Every structure is written in C-alpha cells, then in structure tokens.
Amino acid sequence: MSDIDDLIAWLKRRSAEELAGLLDQRPHLLRYGSVPRNLPDLARQLLDDRYSYELLHEINRPEQELLTSAARLTQDLDRGIYGYPYPASRPVAVADLLTAVGGDASARTVLDGLRAKLLLLPAGPDRIRVPALVRQSFVAREYVPATLDRALTSSFNKAPVMTIAEHLGIDSTTRIDAQRRIVAMLSDQGQVRALISSAPDDARQMLGKLLSEQALLGTYCFELKAGRYSLREGGSGDPDTDWLARRGLLVPAGRDRAEVPLEVARVLGGPGSSPFTSEPPRPATVPVPLDRMRGEAQSAAAAADNRIGLLLKTLAREPATLRKSGGLAVRETRRLAKALGVDEDEARFWIDLCEAASLLGIEAPKKKADYPRLLPTPLYDDWLKRPPGERLASVIAAWATIKDIVTWWPENGENPVALAGSRDPCAVGLRGSVLRSLAALPPGTGLSPRTAGQDLAEAAAWHRPMCVREYGDERVWATLLEAQLLAVSALGMLTETGHVVLEMLETAPVAGPERQLETGGLDTSGSYRGRLSAALNGLLPPPQTTARFQADLTAIVSGTPAPELASLLDSIADRESEGQAQVWRFAPASVRRGLDGGADATDLLERLTGVSRGALPQPLEYLIRDTARKHGSVRVVRSACCLRSDDESLVLELSQHRALRKLGLRRIAPTVLISAQPIRATLEALRSAGYSPALEAATGATEVERILEHRAPARPQRPASARRGRTAPTSLEIAERLHEAR
C-alpha cells in the first residue's frame, strides 16, 4: 500500500477524540490550510509538505536524529549517480528503529511523540513509514555507502571472499557461509572495535579520516577482471590500504575507488550511523549573585521603558517618512537613533517592536506624490497612562511573538532597514530555545562570558536544530542581546520576566503564542500579560512625581518620571539625558514653547512649584517671568487665504454678508480680508453668493483655473472572517464531522 492509503486506513480507525488530538498536534493545518472535508482530504493535508514544513522546524535534536535514522532504514540503498540513494518509502519495524538508536526508554518516548504528530506514518502493526519531506530534509542528498553483503555479492567472486574470511580468522569452506559470517562479524560493534585496535596506526588514522569526511579512497588494491573485483596480487603499494581491504573494511566503489561499507560505518559512527543525543549539552557557567542579576535587569527595564517612551514622543512630534518601496528611510532611522542615544541596530529594534505592539502605525499618503508616514497610534495615549511595568509588558509580549530577529541582518550587501517586513519562520522557535537553554542552567549561575556565544548556540541547537542550522551562532547571539535589552535575561541568566515568557511559549502549542497574549489592546487582565506586568512592576520602581530644580536651570528626576511630570517638563524644557536619572534644561526657547501652548507665567510657576522638592530657584522664576513679558509682542495671524479689492465698500459688504459667515472673514485693512477656509472653498462660497471672484497668483497676475476631476473612494474590502460571519470551528468540532463522514 502507498503512504496515503495506509494513512487513510489508520485515520478511519481513530475516534473523534483521537482525531481532535491529532489536529491539536498539527495546528498548522488549521492555521494555514482549509478545513478538511473528509478523511482522505485530511490525509492529503497531513502529507502535504506545505503543512509539515513549519512543524519540522519545531522538532528537537533527539527527534531529528530519530527521524534521520528512520529515513536511513526505510530508504532504498540501490545507489544512483555519485553514490546517492534513490529515496523510497518502505515500511520498517519499530524494533529495528529503536535498536538503531540504542533502544532506551527515552528513544521510545521520542518515537511515540513523532508518531502522534504523524511525522512517522503508520504502516501496520509496529511498523512505520517515513514521509517524503523527512527523507528529503535529512537523507535525500546524504551519501550512503554500499552494504557489505551487497558488495561481497556483486563485486567479488569466491576467492577474495575466502581471503577476507581467512584474514578475519573465520574458518569456512563455502562462500555462502563465509560471507554470512563476515557480515555478522563486521556488523558487531565489539568485534569491529577489537579488530580496529589491532590495526597499524596509519591504517587506523586512514579509516577515521574516511569516516569523518565521508570520502572515497583512490587506491589500486582492487583489480577488475571480467566484471568482478579481486584483491590485487602483490598489493597496492600501500600496506595500510591492503590491511584494511583484506579484512573487509574497504570494498570497491568503482574503478580504482574504495569505500568503508555501511555496517562498519554505522558501528564506528560514520555515514549511515544512527546517533541519539537524549540530553542537551551543558554550557560552561559562572556563579552570579542574584542581587547583581536583579540590578542589571532593573537597569535594562528602566532604560527600555525610557527609550520606548522617547521614541514614541519623538515620532508624535515629527513623524518619520517611509520609503514607497517599503521600510523606514535610513536617514529617518539615523535621526531616531540619535534622538534615543543608541546605535542604528538598537533603534531598529525599538521601532519594529513598537510597530508590532500597535503603538506605532503607518499613515497612508493623502496625495500620490506624498510618502507614507510612521507615527503613534491612538493606543499610545492609553499607554502613557499605564505604570511602567504594564507599558513594558505590552512590548515584551510583541517581542515574544514577532516572527523576526530584528537586530540580526543577513550579509547581503544592503543596509539594514527598519519595518522591512521580513518574516522568519524560525524566529519564535529560536527565541524559545534560547530561553530554555538559559532556564536549564544550575540555580545561581549564568553563561560563562568566555564561551557564551558558542555554548548557547550548541544548547539552542539541541532544542531547535533546523532553526539554528543556518547562521546559527549569529542569530542565537542576536536573540540573547534582544532578551537583555528587554530584561528577559541578565548576565547570562533568565530573569523572572524571562520565565513568564518561556512558560507562555511552551504552553501554547495549539493556538500559537500570539493567541496567548491577545487580550485586547493594552488590557493586562490576561494570564500571561498580567504576570508579565506583575514581574516588571516588582522590578521597576514606582514612577516619580517630583523633580529637583537647581539654580543652573536644570531639573533632575531620579528614576522613571510619571507621565504627568514628564509631560510638564517636556513642554517647557529640553531633555538632556536618559538613564537612572533624567535631566531637563530650561532655556528661553523651551519656556517660550510652553507659553505658545497657552500657559502663562503664573500658571507655569504654580505647576512647577507643585512638583518641586522644595522652593523653585530664583534664576528659574526670573527666566519664566522675563520670557512671558516679551511673549506676544508680535502677532502672526492665521488664515487660509486672503481676499483683496480696491473697492472698500465691497470689502465691507463681504465681511458682513450672512451667506459668507462660514468663511470666517476678518477685515484686517480697508481693502483686505482674510478667510479661515482654503482657496477653493472660498471661491465656491463667493460664487454661490452671487459674486464673481478671480484667482490671483503670488505675482499679482490673474491665474487661470482648471476644472478638477473627482473620484469616489475605493470601497474597503472586508476580511474573509467578516464575510463569512461565523467563528472558526474548534478541532473537536472538525474531528466529530470527520468521524461521522468516514
């Protein structure tokens, strides 16, 4: 039977609850595919590579090694060109697979998990098949040597077989018996290792090199006559090669080529062997005092909250321009990095995270020639009112689920671009593997600074080998640095916040981690966001509501300022520094900015006195009163357009016309009116009232008007879920329908 026939027959024997459990094990089916209509449809989806690819990237090293061993056992060993096998699915006994990987209890547990996910397919009682995607991912292009039995049968006649048996100490009179005993002896790990221990040193080194490099050996030890090989009389000229060949440790792989047979390679750990690493590696560690780790995390959390707030405030005052091709313009990233006092990589990190947390949004251009702009969303106003822990929790929640490693950029010759929209299917899994590796460290210890990068990459690769396979060390190290910026880790240890994030990633196999943190905007009543907020609120000190004003016209706030205090100081002073203590400096220009906002000197002094630790310094009072005394001596009149006429009586008539009140006309000279409405609206209102105005250019010449064509706005398309008007069915509901239709 074929893979799909076996799978359909197996699915028909499952109960509705078992089918629901299978769908829960394969959440990608419902996340990316259509709801299966019947069991054959479900079987086709289960065997479709598109729905298995992401699941394959979530396996750990023991699972990968067991799948690799299963693929090696199930593939056809008839080799094609260059010694690579034609992959074919054929059943293999579960007992044989467990024997190949050592057969301990941990291997059985891993095997049961893979069968539950159908990464190993049922093929009868205690037999399995390997899906095509697994074979292609692990062994389709792996060189597999010839088996000893096949090499002895197809390459040799009787004489060399008997010679090999003699050198192995096998006493036999028939070729069939000699060949059977040769294969049995060279398949036994103890006998092979005993044989290798008696080999000359150079022969032993040669064999080890062939196994480690998976290489063929150029040699003249075999002689081809009439389509069969024999051992060359007089030897090849290399006694070490001859020693290996005469004991069956080398077999012909073509004219003047030799290889180590599959059985020998397996028992010695070469190609075709089946390793099984049941325990993750243990990184080198150093003792780290908990109070020191907590202090480092507290500093990082405070800095993160300050930089996020400063980024949002900067963009609220001056939105950033995006490229029409996508992503934030590099010059804008540099501007924001300078404002935050960080490098461009870290600036990209905060920009992308704030966008992922819906604190930043993209405003579409109003005109074709304009560019999209990046600015805070309305959620930012609510975010400002939250305690520091809750504010940072929303950003950490976005980091935990974002499918990108923001601070890592591949070396492709392009400058890193913020908001480039990259999608890394391994990012969330890699993030979880890094946090798991840190959580597994002994209590009170952190990664050794000397080997932290390499050790962490090896430990993370045990949890997610396919995610770390490409650019592994770089992406793992970038993930750790991001965790440190968010106080998820500190000094090579996992913080309390990190433990909450890790628990969320480990307990969300069905809905996905993003579902676990979806609680509607900034609501922190959800389980994980609430716990994140609690951990961060315990880490961060309460916001400061007072400042210390000094005679040098500066104000200092120790710690994180409350939103009201920061807003007041930002309105009339310039922020000079961030960190544990934040400094604002007062100057005539900054005070004038506050007066422009509608405040007066008395109001400003009262508000500053209310947040001051002690009396306000006299230089600050003098600065505010002196600036207020000069404020408003010159008036700038706001207008949308200007109306001019040499007829003063007509100008007076227009200013009093009832039909033109909506224009907000104001007479500022006997022959001049200003309008609060734009030029086009003013012209239309004048013409509707029976007047005949003309449009005048800046040079004073009459300007010719052109008729504008208008277009109706495009109808927004509703999402598919809204069009259907119903919620997605649960896995149990789908399973019950499939079970009834079988």
**371-382 pLDDT, tens digit each:** 888 999 988 888
Which pLDDT does position 496 carry in this prediction? 93
Q: Is 420 buried (19+), middle (13-18) or exposed (0-12) by CB count in 10 A?
A: middle
**Residues paired with residue 363 on neighbouring β-strands, in sequence order:** 373
Angle among Cα 277, 265, 459 to the nearest 5 degrees reads 20
Strand order in 320-321's β-sheet? 320-321, 373-376, 360-363
Task: Over range 179-185, report the average pLDDT.
Answer: 92
Task: Over range 1-17, report the average pLDDT.
Answer: 82
Q: Percentage of the chain surpassing pLDDT 90?
A: 28
Q: How far is CA 675 from the centre of its chain?
A: 54
- Tokens 């315990």 belong to 538
With a cut of 70, say whether residue 422 has pLDDT above it.
no
Of the pLDDT bands very low, low, confident and very high (cuts 50, 70, 90), residue 712 is: very low
Ranges 170-184, 237-251, 490-504, 633-647: which has the least confidence: 633-647
**306-362, pLDDT tens digit by residue?**
899 889 989 988 999 988 888 888 899 999 999 888 999 999 999 999 999 999 998
Which pLDDT does position 504 carry in this prediction? 85
With a cut of 70, say whether residue 522 has pLDDT above it.
no
Q: Work out whether the CA dihedral 69, 74, 77, 80 comes out positive or negative.
A: negative
Ranges 432-441, 573-582, 599-608: which has the least confidence: 573-582
Q: Percentage of the chain surpassing pLDDT 70?
A: 87
Q: How far is CA 147 from the centre of its chain?
A: 43
**34-51, pLDDT tens digit by residue?**
788 888 888 888 888 777
Please enumerate, as own/partner, the contacts of 136-139 that have beta carbons within 8 Å and a separation of 24 or more.
136/87, 137/56, 137/466, 138/64, 138/67, 138/68, 138/71, 139/68, 139/71, 139/72, 139/75, 139/85, 139/87
Which pLDDT does position 177 carry in this prediction? 92
Which pLDDT does position 733 carry in this prediction? 86
**348-365, pLDDT tens digit by residue?**
999 999 999 999 998 888
DSSP class of residue 259 equals E
Rounded-to-integer distance, Cα 207 and Cα 244, Å: 8
More confident of the two residues 724 and 495: 495
DSSP class of residue 84 equals P
**3-state SS, residue 321:** strand
**Residues paired with residue 582 on neighbouring β-strands, in sequence order:** 557
Which pLDDT does position 478 carry in this prediction? 92
Task: Over range 395-418, report the average pLDDT.
Answer: 83
**666-703, pLDDT tens digit by residue?**
998 899 999 999 988 898 898 888 887 888 887 777 67
With a cut of 50, say whether residue 515 has pLDDT above it.
no
Which pLDDT does position 89 carry in this prediction? 60
Task: Over range 455-483, report the average pLDDT.
Answer: 86
Locate 523 and state its tokens: 């609501």
Rounded-to-integer distance, Cα 446 and Cα 196, Å: 42
Q: How far lies 234's CA from each of 257, 507, 523, in Å?
A: 18, 68, 85
With a cut of 80, say whether residue 33 has pLDDT above it.
no
- Average pLDDT over all residues of the chain: 83
Q: Work out whether the CA dihedral 654, 659, 661, 664 comes out positive or negative.
A: negative
With a cut of 70, say whether residue 289 has pLDDT above it.
yes
Task: Over range 291-300, report the average pLDDT.
Answer: 92
**601-660, pLDDT tens digit by residue?**
888 899 999 999 989 999 999 999 998 888 766 667 778 899 999 899 999 999 999 999
With a cut of 90, say whether residue 708 has pLDDT above it.
no
Q: Work out whether the CA dihedral 699, 701, 702, 705 comes out positive or negative.
A: negative
With a cut of 80, say whether residue 80 has pLDDT above it.
no
**Residue whose C-alpha is closest to residue 452's, from 429, 481, 432:** 481
With a cut of 80, say whether residue 185 has pLDDT above it.
yes
Angle among Cα 494, 499, 500 to the nearest 5 degrees reads 145
**One-letter amino acid for residue 670 of the chain:** P
Which pLDDT does position 717 carry in this prediction? 41
Task: Over range 193-220, report the average pLDDT.
Answer: 86
Secondary structure, 3-state, 267-312: HHCCCCCCCCCCCCCCCCEEECCHHHHHHHHHHHHHHHHHHHHHHH
Rounded-to-integer distance, Cα 271 and Cα 264, Å: 10
Task: Over range 142-151, report the average pLDDT.
Answer: 76
At a CB cut-off of 8 Å and minimum separation 6, what does 339 contact? 310, 311, 314
Cβ proximity of 651 and 614 under 8 Å = no
With a cut of 50, say whether residue 718 has pLDDT above it.
no
Q: How far is CA 272 from the centre of its chain?
A: 33
Q: How far lies 279's CA from each of 445, 455, 529, in Å?
A: 19, 15, 32
Please enumerate, as own/partner, the contacts of 370-373 that have beta carbons within 8 Å and a separation of 24 or more.
371/321, 371/322, 371/323, 371/324, 372/321, 372/322, 372/324, 373/319, 373/320, 373/321, 373/322
**97-130, pLDDT tens digit by residue?**
888 787 678 889 999 999 888 888 888 788 888 8
With a cut of 50, say whether residue 155 has pLDDT above it.
yes
**3-state SS, residue 549:** strand
